[in-house]
Structure 1
């Protein structure tokens, strides 16, 4: 009987470790490195992610051509609106936002490519157990390959194909669950006046278009 109980316990522990499609935490913040196959786009940005409201914010600051820049991109998918804020000049430009909201999730039809350690499995705290998944993009534009942690489904990196840029790679670093201040996802008040942001004069964009404009 003890042998049977031990076997059942061991089987249950093994099944608990088996990778399954999952959803990442609905509230995340951290940094993101993005670059494209055609080398037209490459940057590091801080991000905030709210899956409940379908809002995202990306912040990029630095120096280019001996000039500093400090931009924020606000993506409000339910409202189909995007805002680019120049924090130095306190200006805001609004754009119609096209494309469906894509949560950070491993779909149920994803195919498990591998389970592996980032770092080392030799000693505790020397590595992180991750799962790498693949599947078809919702619009059948190509494949995606995404890696998330086994515990918590925290995003590590994603690679997927777009007609405009070819393969695009996203790497997530310094992730933190939750948002210290959810109000930071709300665009500043001067973005809410259509006459000032020129919203109606802009062409529809997706978030990659906006990133390219910031470079």
Structure 2
């Protein structure tokens, strides 16, 4: 009887320690490195993210083979509009967004996979503890996200979706909470109605 009670208590303590989805910052700015193994390209970019209003802004340095271009890209998901300015030619293209807004934190209902230490464990200031979660969005797109703990700041975000042709990995670094530039989500001046 005592052994059964002990096993039940240990199982309950272990189950209670399984991390649950955490709340990631809803607004941040950072640098982002994005790779797409299917399209064979990499992007280095400055990135502003606003989950509350479903919008992103990035300055993307795209390398595809030997070609390199820099774009200013504003995506306003609530109005389903994308503004893309080639910073070399100053040409603006305004299009409809072809995929849904993806939160970059841990979506509710995510499954905890594992906890890990990034860096040199045991050396003060040389490591962070991270947790990795997985799941699927409503449209079936599969994701895996790694966040810091306890603050739930996103580090890596992977998505796979054949339906929306999304197959990429984001790595976030130099992250700062909030949006410093109040005009970050205004359409670029190159995209005036007369030019489109």
Normalised to the residue count of structure 1, the TM-score between the two structures is: 0.73
Q: For residue 130 of structure 1, what is the aligned residue in structure 2?
A: 130
Moved more, 33-42 or 71-80: 33-42
Distance 1:169 1:119, change over 3 A: same
Alignment match, 1:161: 160
Q: Per the alignment, do residues 162 and 72 of structure 1 end up closer, same or farther by CA in structure 2, a change over 3 Å counting?
A: same
Indicate the structure with greater helix content: 1
Aligned residues: 182
> By how many angstroms is 1:76 displaced?
0.5
The answer on whether the counterparts of 1:19 and 1:150 sit within 8 Å (CA) in structure 2 is: no
Hey, what does 1:34 align to over in structure 2? 34
Structure 1 residues 165 and 27 mapped into 2: Cα distance closer, same or farther (>3 Å)? same
Q: CA deviation at 1:152?
A: 1.8
Counterpart in the other structure of 2:150: 151
Alignment RMSD: 2.9
Q: Distance in 2 between matches of 1:63 and 1:105?
A: 26
Task: Show structure 1 runs of 5+ residues with no match.
Answer: 1-16, 198-215
What is aligned with 1:178?
A: 178
Equivalent-residue separation in structure 1 for 2:188 and 2:50 (angstroms): 17
Equivalent pair of 2:45/2:59 in contact (CA under 8 Å): yes
Output the CA distance in 2 between the equivalents of 1:52 and 1:108.
15
The alignment partner of 1:95 has SS state of: strand
Distance 1:34 1:68, change over 3 A: closer
More strand by percentage = 2
Give the direction of change, closer, same or farther, for the CA distance of 1:45–1:115 in structure 2 (3 Å limit). Answer: same
8 Å contact kept, 2:44–2:61: no
Unaligned runs of 5+ in 2: 1-16
Superposition TM-score, scaled by structure 2 size: 0.79
CA shift, 1:184, in A, is: 2.1
Pair 60,18 (structure 1): closer, same or farther in 2 beyond 3 Å? same
Please give the per-residue CA displacement for 1:143-196, whole angstroms capped at 9, x wherever unaligned. 321100112211110222121657422111111111211212212234130x42
For residue 71 of structure 1, report the CA deviation from its aligned partner.
Answer: 1.4
Q: How does 1:15-94 map to 2 (within 5 A)?
A: 19-61=19-61, 69-94=69-94
